[in-house]
Amino acid sequence: MAVPVAVLAAGTLAVAEHSRAALALLVILWAVTWWQAARLRGPDRPGQPAGWLAAGVLYIGVAGIALIELRHDNEAGRANVFFLFLVVWASDIGAYMAGRFFGGPKLAPAISPNKTWSGALGGLASAMVVGLAVAAIVAPGGASRAAAVAAMLAVMAQAGDLLESWIKRRFDVKDSSALIPGHGGLLDRLDGVIAAAPVAALLAFLLGQGQPLWR
């Protein structure tokens, strides 16, 4: 229970527009979760180290706070969230289609044997095209920047996909959960967003209030 409670507590602070306090609380609750899991497991109950469970607080919590902060910008928040999700979805779909059609050398066979370099490049290209389209519709201008930001988010999304595959292999499970049968679990549908959201939120912070990610 510690993981969802920690994430929801930090997320509540973020919704109240206390982002720094939310991040600080998340780190504190990560440490508390680690300590509590280690205490409950004890030396006579072997299994995965407590640190792996506690890492879930940061893995999910940071992404959740990032999405909340990204949306808080009343002028550009909605457009930035749409841009993030559409680019990540385009990367996933493009990678799947290109990988199935072209095949070729494996991207990381030890982690995810089905992923190919052609799929990675196809996902990157699809994300850039969709990023350009979204930018042109929502706030025209800055096409080269829109393509660059979309490419960066696509790379992070694919890295998040590989990380989730590595985590499942580390724990020797096929699916991250049974919440979405046939899709590998809920985290498999969100792994790209989990990795890309903090990068998008950081970029929005650096650009300042009211600025689309591509301007």
pLDDT, position 151: 97
User: Is the C-alpha dihedral spanning 102, 103, 108, 114 positive or negative?
Assistant: positive
Asked if residue 46 has pLDDT above 60, the reply is no
pLDDT, position 48: 64
pLDDT, position 42: 61
Please tell me the least confidently modeled range out of 7-16, 53-62, 64-73, 184-193: 184-193
| pLDDT tens-digit series, residues 101-138 | 998 899 988 888 889 999 999 999 999 999 999 999 98
Query: Is the separation of the CB atoms in 153 and 176 below 8 Å?
Result: no
User: Is the C-alpha dihedral spanning 196, 202, 205, 211 positive or negative?
Assistant: negative
Provide the angle, in degrees to the nearest 10, between the axes of the packed helices 117-138 and 77-102. Answer: 150
Say how far apart CA 112 and CA 166 lie, in whole Å.
Answer: 8
Percent residues over pLDDT 90 in the chain:
59
Count how many Cα atoms sit within 13 Å of the Cα of residue 194 in the half-sphere of its side chain: 18
pTM above 0.85, yes or no: yes
Domain boundaries, the chain: 1-72, 74-215
Say how far apart CA 187 and CA 172 lie, in whole Å.
Answer: 16
pLDDT, position 150: 96
| pLDDT tens-digit series, residues 144-164 | 999 999 999 999 999 999 999
Say how far apart CA 46 and CA 36 lie, in whole Å.
Answer: 15
Q: Which helix (H) or strand (E) is 114 found in, with range?
A: strand 112-116
pLDDT, position 38: 82
- For the segment 57-86, the average pLDDT, to the nearest whole number, is 93
